Every structure is written in C-alpha cells, then in structure tokens.
C-alpha cells in the first residue's frame, strides 16, 4: 500500500516549468555556442550550431544536422531521476538529485571518423581521408576535436621540416601559402666542452642531421595553416573541446569519446554557467594526442598495447625565441650540439635555428632519465 500511495502521489513526470520562458531555464543545453570557442580563422561550413540535442544517426554531408532545443526539452526524464523522486525518503533530496545538471544525458553527435587532436598527424589524416572520399565520390564526415583554444596553440617546438610528406599531401602547398619560408642552407654540428665548441666535419654528421632541401619553420604557424586547409577540404575542426573519456561498445570496441563538462567550480559543484559534455561517436576513432595523451594511455592500458615493446623515453625541451643583431643573423642556418653541460650519463643536446628576420629559435633537450636528482634543465640551459 505504501508503494502504491507513493506512485499515486508522484503523478506524471514533471518537466522544468522554466523552459517556457526564454533564458529562464538553467537546465543544460548541450554544446551551446559559448561552450565552443571560435577560431580567429574564418569559420567552416561544418561549425556546430548554437544548440544541440541527442541524435543517433549522422546526417548527409550536404544537409548538416540542425539541433532543436525544443526537442531536447521534450525528452522524458531518465528512469534514474524518476525512481529517485519516487523512493527517496526526502522530497527535498529527491528534487535536488533530479535537478542536478550532472545527471542530464549527454547530447550525441555522429560522424564517420572522429580524430582526437589537431596536431600535424591528426590534421594530415583528416585531409587525406577527405581527399580519398572525394576521389571515390563519397560523402565522409570527418570530425576533429582539439583541446587548445586555437589550432596550433599547443604546438611549441621549433622545427626543421622535410617537405616530402607535405608535397604528397598538398602538392600545391606553395600556391596555398604554406608558411615554409626559410630553406635550410647551412648545417653545423658541434661537440661542446666547458670552454670550446668543436665543429664536426660534415662527412661525420648523422644522416638525420642533413637538412639539405628542408625548411626551418614555426611549427605552430604551420599547424595553424594546416587546420585552415583541413576546413577548406570539408573537415569539421573544433578547437577548445577536450576529450574526457573513451566510450566503448558492448563488445569492447571503441565507440567514440565524451567531451569534458564545463562550468565546474573549485568545490566540484556546477556553477550557473555549467554545461554538460557531449558524446562524439564515430565508425572509426583516431587518437592523435601526441606522445603522452591522456586518452591514449587508457587505451594502452586497456588493450595491453605495450606488452613486448620497449617503453617510451621522454625528454624535457626548453625553447626560447631571440631577436639578434642583423650582422649575427645567418638565414637558414641550423646548428645542433651535444656535450657540455650534459654529463656522460645523460642524453640530450641543443639547437639553434636562424629562421626569420633576425629571429633565432634556441632550444635545449634533457633526457628525463637523468641520474643526478639535483640537475635543473632550465639552469643548464642558461649556461
């Protein structure tokens, strides 16, 4: 009788009354406009709309899905929320549980291919997939998410780039304005002591240090340009969205990724601007997070991908860009060195790249397996 009385008293599911008042309801609107930072570059046709709802199938590429806030509001409450309201010993606690926006279902976005990470490899893969689909006359939705607020913002390395792969991917890269402006014309390799820099004859240079035909570039600027090429090819690139967890199918295969919630206070509770993350599902999911990606590490552990393989080795890199006097600037010069201040037990080295208008990129790399616990890579760099 008690159960029947509670069921009768509960009545039909109650929907938030404020939804009828524009702007009054604070229930989460999945992937609102303010939750997706815009790039400074021109927007692509595939940008997400201002509001989103859960979907289960990808729309044709010619007609992008339009998300309806009204349809999202009409969704019935979850079974968990209904039972919490019916069987809680406290009406107040049950109401609080039901209204907690963290209990809301995630909106769902479908794509053919989802790529996590908008670095050189992730963007190159996205561009190539669109090229192959276009060659076969097929529609392919490629979705790239990037945790940085702008594509290229987390790419810090100075770099000497071999253009062979770029020529294969984008043959007309020069006409499209790729920022490869400084060809490498001079290689130097030095062994350093406390007081001397001993040049190594070119014939003894390691093969990978032969940079003839390569370019000295800002990798951040190059990745930013590569992101623009991806968008022009029809790839949907969304910066400012970090993957929070990997989603799996019942058979253990990867279904997609869930993005992070935004608007969480220091106390772990939702703030007024809280918005629920969303699920991004793909038939194929590529992880291009870099050498130490958080989602990649969970996959390595789950599928035991490191078994029988060597462990990764890590180094810490420090880089600064200096403006030097014009008489000291040698455009296209790449200098590498080993030796001091490193000890015999620590691997690493330094580089100096003369790349643009009296600017040089100076870097120092220290292997993180150094045995001297008092070693400070930054102080060594200053020496």
Residue ranges in the chain whose pLDDT is less than 70? 1-98
Domain ranges in the chain are 182-213+313-383
- pLDDT for the residue 98: 58
What's the mean per-residue pLDDT of the chain? 80
- pLDDT for the residue 291: 86
- pLDDT for the residue 221: 94
Instruction: Return the exposure string of 175-189: e unless at least 16 CB atoms fall within 10 Å of the residue's CB, then b.
Output: eeebbbebebbebbb
pLDDT, one tens digit per residue, over 257-278 is 999 888 889 998 899 999 899 9
Nearest to 27 by CA among 103, 111, 89: 103
CATH class given for the domain over 182-213+313-383: alpha beta
- pLDDT for the residue 167: 97
Cα–Cα separations (whole angstroms), residue 98 to 79, 258, 341, 379: 11, 22, 61, 54
Which two three-digit tokens encode residue 374?
Answer: 């008092």
Residue 333 CA from chain centroid, whole number: 32
Ramachandran region, residue 218 (left: φ > 0; alpha: ψ -120 to 50; beta: rest) = beta
SS3 of 285, please? strand
């Amino acid at each position: 009788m008690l159960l029947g009385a509670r069921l009768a008293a509960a009545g039909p599911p109650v929907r938030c009354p404020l939804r009828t008042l524009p702007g009054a309801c604070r229930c989460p609107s999945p992937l609102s406009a303010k939750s997706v930072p815009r790039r400074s570059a021109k927007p692509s046709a595939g940008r997400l709309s201002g509001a989103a709802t859960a979907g289960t199938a990808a729309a044709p590429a010619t007609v992008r899905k339009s998300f309806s806030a009204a349809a999202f509001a009409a969704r019935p409450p979850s079974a968990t929320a209904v039972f919490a309201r019916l069987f809680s010993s406290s009406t107040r606690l049950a109401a609080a549980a039901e209204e907690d926006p963290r209990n809301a279902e995630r909106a769902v976005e479908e794509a053919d291919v989802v790529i996590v990470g908008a670095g050189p490899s992730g963007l190159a893969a996205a561009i190539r997939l669109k090229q192959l689909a276009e060659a076969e006359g097929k529609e392919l939705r490629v979705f790239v998410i990037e945790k940085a607020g702008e594509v290229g913002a987390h790419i810090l390395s100075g770099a000497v780039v071999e253009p062979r792969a770029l020529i294969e991917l984008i043959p007309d890269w020069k006409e499209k304005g790729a920022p490869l402006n400084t060809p490498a014309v001079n290689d130097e390799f030095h062994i350093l002591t406390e007081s001397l820099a001993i040049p190594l004859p070119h014939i003894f240079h390691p093969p990978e240090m032969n940079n003839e035909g390569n370019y000295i570039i800002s990798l951040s600027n190059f990745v930013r340009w590569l992101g623009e090429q991806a968008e022009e090819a029809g790839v949907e690139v969304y910066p400012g969205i970090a993957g929070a967890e990997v989603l799996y199918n019942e058979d253990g295969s990867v279904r997609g990724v869930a993005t992070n919630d935004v608007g969480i206070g220091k106390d772990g509770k939702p703030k007024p601007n809280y918005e629920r993350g969303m699920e991004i599902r793909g038939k194929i999911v590529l992880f291009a997070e870099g050498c130490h990606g958080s989602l990649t590490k969970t996959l390595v552990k789950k599928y035991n991908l490191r078994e029988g393989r060597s462990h990764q080795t890590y180094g810490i890199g420090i880089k600064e860009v200096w403006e030097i006097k014009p008489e000291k600037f040698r455009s296209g010069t790449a200098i590498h060195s080993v030796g001091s201040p490193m000890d015999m037990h620590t691997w690493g080295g330094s580089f100096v790249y003369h790349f643009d208008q009296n600017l040089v990129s100076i870097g120092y790399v220290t292997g993180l397996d150094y045995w001297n616990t008092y070693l400070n890579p930054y102080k060594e760099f200053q020496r």
